[in-house]
Amino acid sequence: MEQNNRLINLENISKEFDGTVVLSDINLYIRKNEFLTLLGPSGCGKTTTLRIIGGFEYPTTGRVIFDGKDITADPPYKRRVNTVFQKYALFPHLNVADNIAFGLKIAKMPKKDITQKVGKMLELVNLQGYEKRSVESLSGGQQQRVAIARALVNEPEVLLLDEPLGALDLKLRKGMQLELKRMQQALGITFVFVTHDQEEALTMSDTIVIMKDGRIRQIGTPKHIYDEPKDAFIANFIGESNIIRGTMPKDEVVHFCGMDFTCVDFGFEKDEPVDVLIRPEDIHIVGTDASQLTGVVRSVLFKGVHYEMIIDAGGFNWKVHSTVMAPEGSRVGLSIVPFNIHVMRLQKDALPEEAAP
């Protein structure tokens, strides 16, 4: 990656609140025009990371570099970034137009230009004619659009979004996901998006940063993270998965459920214990004669596009997605192609976690 393409660099950032470590040793760069998502369960430090970029928190150690300049100590109003806040934080005493114009007025822009820019922004977010409306009279989705317009009108180089879709219902959320992606591409600016919703992250992002317990666990494109999760936590967090303990007797062979399977992974020590990930849609139901594993169907759920079946085979309850249904109680065979068997090194911190009740 060329150095000059990096707009924001977080260098060795850590953050403590009253002695509790919430971020440790965060190193991350964000490229120009990139849609980057910080993804993780609540309390993983994703919002704190965003707030450090925005200038609302200051890191305990480390530096924030913006366009080659150290901005670690700059207050929010001196940074060329704008934020869309959780629950929008619109100013209730101002109408839609005044909310959007807030930043422009501070910048002392001429009135004519303000009106014109506000109009343009309302067009961008599909709220033409709402200028004089009170923000409290708007629906959640509309407030969301005003919040986005209020941030974007200042033409920031980076837009920070802190779980902006969390308060919307499912259908609106899907619509806004597409719209946000469209805006980001149309405006050509960098979006840093925080969410705990893996599906949202997969849909919109160019890059996903997975965080847990104040650390970055994996950085990659959605496809890369889905296909090659680094460990069981990430595999579980992104998409649905079957994760089973196994060993690596040798390269490209993995042993689980009492059998050896051919796989494509290598570079492990002999008989190293590993986590094996197989996605539910990668398990094929075949006749019992042609299969690698045989088992009994325990339950069947219709999920709209596919059936979700729990199949007890080889001492493990496999979650299988298939468009073909096998009736409950029937004996079926399962087959997995080597390419879809994904072997992961054990997480260092996974063992005590699993030992806990």
Partner 1 sequence: MMGMNMPQWGVWAMALGLGVFLVMLFSSVRRHHGVHRSLFSWPYSLWMIVFTVIPLFLVAYYAFTNKAGQFTMENFANFWDSNREMKMQLSGMGFDPAAMGMGARGTVNVDTLVYSLWMAFLCTIICFAVGYPAALFMADRDFKLGPILIVLFIIPMWMNFLLRTIAWMSLLEDNGLINTLLQQFGFKKLKLMYNSEAVLLGMVYNYLPFMVFPIYNALSRQDKKLSEAAMDLGANKVRTFARVTFPLSLPGIVSGITMVFMPSVTTFFIPRVLGGGNTEMFGDLIERTFLTADNWNVGSALSLIMMLLILLSITLLRKVDPEGEGGSLL
Partner 2 sequence: MTKFFKRFYLVLVLLFLYLPIAVLIVQSFNAGISRAKWEGFSFRWYEELFSSPTIMQALYVTLTIALLASIISTILGTLAAIGIHAMKKRPQAAMMTLTNIPMTMPDIVTGISLMLLFIFTQVDRGYFTMLIAHITFDTPYVILSVLPKLREMNRFSYEAALDLGATPGYALWHVILPAVRPGVVTGALLAFTLSLDDFTISYFTTSPLVQNLSTLIYSEARKGIKPTMNSLSALMFVTLLVLLLAVNYRSSKAEQAK
Distance in Å, CB of 75 to partner 1, minimum: 6
**Partner that binds at residue 18, options partner 2, partner 1, none, CB closer than 5 to 8 Å by kind:** partner 2
From the number of C-beta atoms within 10 Å of its C-beta (0-12, 13-18, 19+), residue 214 rates as buried
**Distance separating alpha carbons of residues 353 and 31, to the nearest angstrom:** 35
What's the burial of 157, exposed, middle or buried (CB within 10 Å: 0-12/13-18/19+)? Answer: middle
Question: What mask, x for binding partner 1 by CB under 8 A, covers residues 203 to 232?
Answer: ------------------------------
The residues pairing with 295 across neighbouring beta strands, listed in sequence order, are: 313, 332
Judge whether 268 and 251 are in contact, CB under 8 Å. yes
- In the numeric block, which tokens belong to residue 85? 């806040």
Segment near partner 2 (CB under 8 A), from 54-62, 113-121, 243-251, 339-347?
54-62
Residue 58 contact among partner 2, partner 1, none, beta carbon within 5 to 8 Å by kind: partner 1
Q: Which residues of 320-342 are buried (b: 16+ CB within 10 A; e: fewer)?
A: bbbeeebeeeeebbbebeeebbb
CB nearer to partner 2: give 52 or 232: 52
Contacts of residue 332, defined as CB under 8 A and 6 or more positions apart, other chains included, come to 285, 286, 288, 291, 294, 295, 296, 297, 311, 326
Cα separation, 176 vs 26, whole angstroms: 29
Q: Which lies closer to partner 1 via its Cβ, residue 73 or residue 178?
A: 73
176 membership: H or E segment, kind and range: helix 170-187
Asked if 75 interacts with partner 1 (CB under 8 A), we say yes
Instruction: Assign 105 to helix, strand or coil.
Output: helix
Exactly one of 5, 17, 27, 73 binds partner 1 (CB under 8 A); that residue is: 73
Window contacting partner 2 (CB under 8 A); options: 111-119, 150-158, 176-184, 206-214: 150-158
| 266, interface contact from partner 1, partner 2, none, CB < 5-8 Å by kind | none
Among 14, 60, 86, 340, binds partner 2 (CB under 8 A): 86
Near partner 2 by CB under 8 A: residue from 14, 21, 33, 85: 85
58: contact with partner 1 by CB under 8 A: yes
Q: Which residue has the tokens 């992002």?
A: 205
Query: Rounded to whole angstroms, how far apart are CA atoms 204 and 159?
Result: 14
Residue 118 binds partner 2 (CB under 8 A): no
Q: Report in angstroms how near the CB of residue 22 gets to partner 2 at its nearest.
A: 13
Instruction: Choose among partner 2, partner 1, none what residue 106 binds, the Cβ cut-off being 5 to 8 Å by kind.
Output: partner 2
- Residue 49 near partner 2 by CB under 8 A: no
Binding residues for partner 2 (CB under 8 A): 17-18, 54-56, 75-77, 81-83, 85-93, 102-103, 106-107, 150-151, 154
Binding residues for partner 1 (CB under 8 A): 58, 73, 75
